[in-house]
Structure 1
Amino acid sequence: MTKALLFDFDGTLLDTNGLIIETFMHVLNERFPGQYQPQDCVRFLGPSLAETFKEIAPDEVDELIGKYRAWNLEHHDELVKEYEGVVETLEKLKEMGLRLAIVSTKRRNTIARGLEIIGATHLFEVIIGVDDVSHVKPDPEPILLALEKLGLNQSDVIMIGDNSHDIEGGKNAGVRTAGVAWAFKGKDFLQQFNPDYMLNHMSDLISIVKEA
């Protein structure tokens, strides 16, 4: 029986892809003029900022993260939007008795801001951000922490996300997983990681939890 749903945030519940890519372009063009194009930043969707900037400029990680967060925060509200049907479906799932949680590589305060924008703050019982863990997805730590806070077992939940880190993290934690077809990298990309379910629309979760 499915008792709870764990959601990634960026690219799953909130369309932040444009914001993320524009933020990376701002930071990288300032530091490495002309070396990056928007399509180069697609691979940065999913990993933590620390992982990404460690790969790009290992001696400047903290400085680049600071610049990223400053620009991202300034432009956040104007560049993000809800995916169609997300909040409506979350409300129905909550009414059905499902417990909802977020497991993200974002900081908790930024997650809270996004939830406020789409009017979903009241729906989530547990929020796990990058500032709550030592290791981010695909490490199982954040998902296992969410289970601990919910008081549930691996068999009770599904981890839902738009990136390989979400699917692999779920598998590493021993929980069922679901990919979302609206992922920026595409449905075919996610299918490579063999999620248990694939959502073509957020409302598909309603039938999935009923069957499960």
Structure 2
Amino acid sequence: MHPLLFGIRLVVFDLDGTLVDSVPDLAAAVDATLADLGLPPPGAARVRDWVGNGSLKLMERALADARGVAPDEALLARAHDGFLAHYGRAPSARTRLYPGVREGLAALHGRGLPLALVTNKPSAFIAPILAGVGLEAYFGLCLGGDSLARKKPDPAPLRHAAAHFEVAPAASLMVGDSRHDIAAGKAAGFRTLALPYGYNHGEPVADSRPDGIVESLADLV
């Protein structure tokens, strides 16, 4: 067992860039939305650096990149609605698990540790994606970016998860791939663990000074 797990009674995971590579599906929806607006598609490589702050911010970044100026509220709302419609048709068609994810979750779950999922993705997409990649059985709580009034990097969702399972923050671990995950974990009083392969706006997640870094979730167990 990884040393960071000693004394831990709750493990909270991010989704995109931590458990799954969802960029192919996100990029397809962004490209289709911009095409509907007569704008050039950015493609997966650019979308990868925009993921992490929820779907509204994703579309704001995509529109600003395509037009050269920040969108007004009306255009952003129209684009966001279009994105949700496109993405909702097939949110897990191209999404894949990262290596070691299933093994790591199965081992933690087998030890009786409660597991939670806290993502900034709209909550409506969580269940279809988990079912699509076969992870739906592992999580006792799933929170999306619209589940509470605030989302990561605010610590509120993590504190909510700890309270839900009646576990002290100091006995909880936040596992993610971005500075938002690490910031939320630190602010909530959690231990923090980072994975270096995900989406962090092109920056090394080590710069956020997590308590630990592993190359794969399989390394936890």
Q: Smaller-chain TM-score range?
A: 0.7 to 0.9
Distance 1:36 1:174, change over 3 A: same
1:25 to 21, 31, 36: 31
State the distance in 2 between where 1:133 and 1:113 align: 20
Tell me how far 1:137 sits from its aligned partner.
0.6
**TM-score normalised by the chain length of structure 1:** 0.87
Kept in 2, the 8 Å contact 1:16–1:80? The answer is yes
Matched, 1:190 2:190: no
**TM-score normalised by the chain length of structure 2:** 0.84
Kept in 2, the 8 Å contact 1:179–1:197? The answer is yes
State the distance in 1 between where 2:202 and 2:212 align: 11
Q: Which residue of 1 aligns with 2:139?
A: 124
Aligned residue for 1:130, secondary structure, equals coil
Greater mean alpha carbon deviation, residues 192-201 or residues 32-41: 32-41
Q: Which amino acid aligns with 1:161?
A: G
Tell me how far 1:158 sits from its aligned partner.
0.9
Q: Which residue of 2 aligns with 1:83?
A: 98
Kept in 2, the 8 Å contact 1:15–1:80? The answer is yes
Q: Which residue of 1 aligns with 2:82?
A: 67
Tell me how far 1:61 sits from its aligned partner.
3.0
Q: Which residue of 1 aligns with 2:124?
A: 109
Matched, 1:200 2:215: yes
Aligned residue for 1:5, secondary structure, equals strand
Tell me how far 1:50 sits from its aligned partner.
2.4
- 1:29-72 CA distance string (max 9 Å, x none): 43362374544323321011223445642413332221111111
Aligned residue for 1:178, secondary structure, equals strand
Aligned residue for 1:127, secondary structure, equals strand
Stretches of structure 2 that go unaligned for 5 or more consecutive residues are: 1-6, 65-70
Tell me how far 1:174 sits from its aligned partner.
1.7
Kept in 1, the 8 Å contact 2:109–2:138? The answer is yes
Tell me how far 1:165 sits from its aligned partner.
1.1
Matched, 1:50 2:53: no
Deviating beyond 6 angstroms after TM superposition, the runs of 4 or more aligned structure 1 residues are none
- 1:99-124 CA distance string (max 9 Å, x none): 10000112223111111122221211
Aligned residue for 1:101, secondary structure, equals strand
Q: Which residue of 2 aligns with 1:11?
A: 17
Structure with more helix by fraction: 1
Kept in 2, the 8 Å contact 1:87–1:118? The answer is no
Aligned residues between the structures: 206
Tell me how far 1:77 sits from its aligned partner.
3.1
Stretches of structure 1 that go unaligned for 5 or more consecutive residues are: 207-212
Q: Which amino acid aligns with 2:17?
A: G
Q: Which residue of 2 aligns with 1:210?
A: none
- Correspondence 1:161-176 to 2 at 5 A: 161-176=176-191
The CA RMSD over aligned residues, in Å, is 2.1
State the distance in 1 between where 2:152 and 2:83 align: 20
